[in-house]
Amino acid sequence: MAEVFRIDGCVVKVFSNDHDPAHVHVSSAEQEVKIDISGPIAVVLESGKKKRQRASAKFTKQALQIVNARLVEAKAAWEAIQSGE
């Protein structure tokens, strides 16, 4: 796991050898949400069978705003980490 950046009590991270689509994990002390960064804007990543989104609507909105504001950086981090750089 690599921390991409930290802001407003949220940590944005990418796990090496993680599954597609490109995404980041945004967490606080008590909540976590996966954000899909594969498109032109960041969106919440649905977790398939598990549906393990452990985040309030407020936290999810904050996470989306943070990631969208730094989407280029998040995408670059995903690419670098998945390619082993």
39-59 tens-digit pLDDT: 999 999 976 555 555 789 999
* Global pTM value: 0.88
For 5-52, what is each residue's pLDDT tens digit? 999 999 999 999 888 999 999 999 999 999 999 999 999 997 655 555
Q: How far is CA 36 from CA 2, 19, 26, 45, in A?
A: 17, 11, 11, 5
**CA–CA separation, 73 and 57 (whole Å):** 24
Phi, psi of 13 (to 5 degrees): -140, 160
